[in-house]
Structure 1
Amino acid sequence: MTERTYFDSDELETTAEVVSCTQQEDRKYRVVLSRTLFHPQGGGQLTDIGTIGEAAMLKATVEESEVVHLTDAPVVGAVTLLVDAENRRRNTRYHSAGHLISVVVERTGWRAVKGDHRPGEARVVFERDGELAVPAEADVEVAVAELVGSGLARVQKTEDGRRTVTWGDLPAYACGGTHVVSTADVGKVRIVSAKDKKGQLSVRYEL
């Protein structure tokens, strides 16, 4: 099984051994590595992109607990992995902003149940137990801005195979995504809308 070094490292470059490389009908290649820095698509977060050796790494996915990398050319032996920094930074900021929105809205009694952190589609969905008011968009935006402005440091822990992430003393969430080192790195978050539909609150946002 591929060692997922992105769980514990913010590095964007490393080396790995190619475990397998199989050509597909579309002339793309399915690559399994001994270790990877590429965060796969999932958990509401877009895939990392970059290069594996001389090949472009187009998409990473998880298939039967294995990370599979899609490349535009074959790769063999020992290779250098290079993660596209700008794409990773955008994905990480969006994902982390979703966490901060969850913290703020859960203070009002709602419970975060899922998130989509893709630019243009970003939202966090909450459910409620009993009657609760819909938080004002402006109030959520101000509270998130306060957390960003506080520059809280990231706290990551792994216990019994369970990885949790937070910043400062905020509530921790079990999560396998990538996260900013400081809440200040999230930048300005705009709350686009907060709408309750049949007991589910959808909070849309953008950076």
Structure 2
Amino acid sequence: MFPLTQRTVPLYQKEGQLCRHTSQITSIHPLSCLPEDARALFKPPPDSTSYVLTTPSTIFHAQGGGQPSDTGIIKSKDATFHVHQVRKNEPALLHMGVFDGGNARFQDGEEVEQSINVEKRRLHSRIHTAGHVIGLAINVLVREARLPSNIVDGKASHYPGSAFVEFLGLIPGTAKADIQAKVDELVSQDLDVKIHFWTEAKARTDCTGVLESFKSDEDGVRVVEIGDVGSYPCGGTHVLNLSECGKVVVRGVKRQKGVSKVSYEVQDT
């Protein structure tokens, strides 16, 4: 039986700048051998034999919280495994990918080196942090009475090319320029981006925006805080300061059924 009960420590939660890591292989199986519910988590590449492996700890961010998973390579002295997707199957994190040609494979317990695609991680981190900057900018405009007082943070997606932040309440389309100006102001201050682990009570009272459900574990609630402007519960990866985001561009504001969607992108400067 595929061991889905052994916890994988997500090192990226506390060491988001770590791009290489040595671990052991806990298990490795062809994707086709997984239980149906676990197989359904993946979209394997065509015309190849995909495997899923687990490790006691990983630097590969698993898809979730609106952020795509990392990709990269896991290598031993004899084999190279290309990680295509990483998914959560609590408490395990599953790495799906393919081996280079040949018959070399990993063995259970074998020591391997994990290496993430640094450029892709950097882009995902920039986009994710930028989404929080937009959320904070809109909250500041609400406090300044430049946006309606009933605007409340909602869900978000931080995928390249389709990133957005949603809010309950109607943001006027004419507010786009004000939102962009406030975002530019925050980014220009090059505020620090810090990760904390708070109690659930502190997160609910002190965070700028809190959805009804968020994850809390033995470390508490993971929170990203941007300067002294505000904070959000968040499990994603982030830059260390706002200048690393580059130019954060508000692309548009759409309103439908009482929900406002603010789309955005990041650009190199």
TM range (shorter): over 0.9
| 1:123-172 per-position Cα deviation (integer Å, ceiling 9, x unaligned) | 001003xx764561111111111111111112211134211111211211
**Contact 1:52-1:75 within 8 A present in 2 as well:** no
Q: Is 1:156 equivalent to 2:195 in the alignment?
A: yes
**How far apart are the structure 2 equivalents of 1:104 and 1:64?**
34
Matched, 1:118 2:159: yes
The question of 1:84 aligning with 2:112 is answered no
1:40-79 matches, within 5 Å, as: 40-53=62-75, 54-73=80-99, 74-76=105-107, 77-79=110-112
Aligned pair 1:143/2:182, yes or no?
yes
SS of the residue aligned with 1:189? strand
Give 1:113 deviation, angstroms.
1.1
Give the aligned partner of residue 237 of structure 2: 178
Check conservation: 1:134, 1:201, Cα contact below 8 A: no
Q: Contact (CA 8 Å) 1:59, 1:71: kept in 2 or not?
A: yes
Rounded Cα–Cα distance in structure 1 between residues aligned with 2:52 and 2:171: 48
**Deviations 1:21-67 (CA, angstroms, capped at 9, x unpaired):** 01123611111111000001111101101001121111111013321
The 5 A counterparts of 1:99-114 are 99-107=132-140, 108=142, 109=149, 110-114=151-155
Letter in 1 for 2:8: T
RMSD: 1.5
Aligned residues: 205
The whole-number CA distance in structure 2 between the counterparts of 1:43 and 1:148 is 23
> Comparing 94-103 with 57-66, which one deviates more in the overlay?
57-66
- SS in structure 2 opposite 1:89? helix
2:128 corresponds to which of 70, 92, 95:
95
Pair 1:15 & 2:74 matched: no
What is the DSSP-based 3-state SS (H/G/I as helix, E as strand, rest coil) of the residue aligned with 2:26?
Answer: strand
Taking structure 1 as reference, are residues 91 and 132 closer, same or farther at Cα in structure 2, changes over 3 Å only?
A: closer
TM-score by length of 2: 0.73
- After TM superposition, the score normalised by the length of structure 1 is 0.94
Gaps of 5+ in 1: none
Alpha-carbon contact 1:155-1:166 (below 8 Å) kept = yes
Which one-letter code corresponds to 1:7 in the other structure? Q
- The 2-side partners of 1:136 and 1:79 are apart by 51
**Secondary structure, in 3 states, of the residue corresponding to 1:93?**
helix
Number of the residue aligned with 1:36 = 58
